Amino acid sequence: MALRRHRLPRFWLAVTLGLVAAGVGAAHWWEAQLPSRLEQAAADGNYEACLSYSEQLAALRWMSGRAPREQGRCRRHQAETLWQAEKWAEALKLQLLLSNSPAGTVADRKRLQSWQQELKSRALARFEAGDLEGAITLLKPMGEDQHPDGNAYGDNLRQLWSRNRLQQERARGLISQKRWWEALEALNRIDHPWWKSQSVGLQRQVENEIAGLKAKEQEHHSHGDNRLSNVPMADLDGAVQRNIVLGLDDWTAFTTACRQLGGKVVEAGPETGCQR
């Protein structure tokens, strides 16, 4: 019995070593099968299987140096297919993995940069056409939709959009108060193509009103009206008071108000006026 117990550990050791050897042998055998299966999947256009096989090769990379090259090949084909199908997020993710992998080449990294730039261009085109949310959606796959520090490309687009929207709202408010010159200044600050197109009617209205005022003033001049100030005093006084509230001194408030109303400061002896 003692001899029998002594032989048992050797038996289990032999079994264990046999299983390990069988496992290693099976792994070697499967690894030998994978390249041909991978190539066939790539040739058939079955890129999901291609990537699956390449991931398995990557897991067996300690046995062979072929895995990175084959995996890169699959990722390259699949990324291109996804990009052509306009599946931007999936394509960029795969291309980024490829670019950062041992199989990545300079051409792969250039393609990644090219795709990112193309998405930015597409986003800008949508933005200029008035589709802010569509532009932001295009920027999400590369993480440029927003950043905590507010410096993402999408953050810049939002700021530009908001600034133009506020300028139009300001112009509408000034128009309702018949402050035509200030309204014109606000409208001229709009620099977004879509917002400019949305403000054409307001621009025309303001310009017509200003033209009417100029015609009346010209008529006054033709009848000998040579006042030093020909800007409506109510408008000028209101603008001056608003500038004073903003913290400007009296003279700066006056000259700024005159300029805001489309005039220029003129002096005649001790008197100062605002003329258009």
Q: Per residue in 174-223, pLDDT tens? A: 899 888 888 888 999 999 999 999 999 999 999 898 888 777 766 655 55
**24 pLDDT more than 70:** no
19 in any annotated domain: no
Residue 150 confidence class, pLDDT cut points 50, 70, 90: confident
**23 pLDDT more than 50:** no
Residue 77 confidence class, pLDDT cut points 50, 70, 90: confident
User: For residue 272, what is the enclosing H or E element?
Assistant: strand 271-275
Q: Which of 84, 111, 143 is the last residue of a domain?
A: 143
What type of residue sits at position 154?
G
162 in any annotated domain: yes
Same domain for 213 and 150: yes
Per-residue HEC secondary structure of the chain comes to CHHHHHHHHHHHHHHHHHHHHHHHHHHHHHHHHHHHHHHHHHHHCCHHHHHHHHHHHHHCCCCCCCHHHHHHHHHHHHHHHHHHCCCHHHHHHHHHHHHCCCCCCHHHHHHHHHHHHHHHHHHHHHHHCCCHHHHHHHHHHHCCCCCCCCCCHHHHHHHHHHHHHHHHHHHHHHHHCCCHHHHHHHHHCCCCHHHHHHCHHHHHHHHHHHHHHHHHHHHHHHCCCCCCCCCCHHHHHHHHHHHHHCCCCHHHHHHHHHHHCCCEEEEECCEEEEEC
Q: pLDDT tens for residues 40-55?
A: 665 666 666 666 766 6
**169 pLDDT more than 90:** yes
**224 pLDDT more than 70:** no
9 in any annotated domain: no
Q: pLDDT tens for residues 122-133?
A: 999 999 999 999
Q: How confident is the model at residue 63, as a pLDDT? A: 41
Q: Which of 23-27, 43-47, 143-147 has the lowest mean pLDDT?
A: 23-27
- Is 198 exposed, middle or buried (CB count within 10 Å of its CB: 0-12, 13-18, 19+)? middle
Place of tokens 């409208």: 187
Residue 76's nearest CA partner among 37, 112, 36 is 112
Same domain for 139 and 30: yes
6 in any annotated domain: no
Same domain for 74 and 51: yes
Q: How confident is the model at residue 72, as a pLDDT? A: 79
**269 pLDDT more than 70:** no
Residue 27: phi and psi, rounded to 5, are -65, -45
Q: pLDDT tens for residues 84-100?
A: 998 988 999 989 988 98
17 in any annotated domain: no
Same domain for 119 and 201: no
What's the mean pLDDT when you consider all of the chain? 79
Structural domain of 235: 228-276
Residue 250 confidence class, pLDDT cut points 50, 70, 90: confident
Q: How confident is the model at residue 118, as a pLDDT? A: 94
**26 pLDDT more than 90:** no
15 in any annotated domain: no
Instruction: Please tell me the total count of domains within the chain.
Output: 3
Same domain for 125 and 41: yes
User: For residue 195, what is the enclosing H or E element?
Assistant: helix 193-198
7 in any annotated domain: no
Same domain for 213 and 182: yes
Same domain for 257 and 157: no
Q: Are 210 and 181 in contact (CB under 8 A)?
A: yes
Residue 127: phi and psi, rounded to 5, are -60, -45
Q: Which of 143, 169, 189 is the last residue of a domain?
A: 143
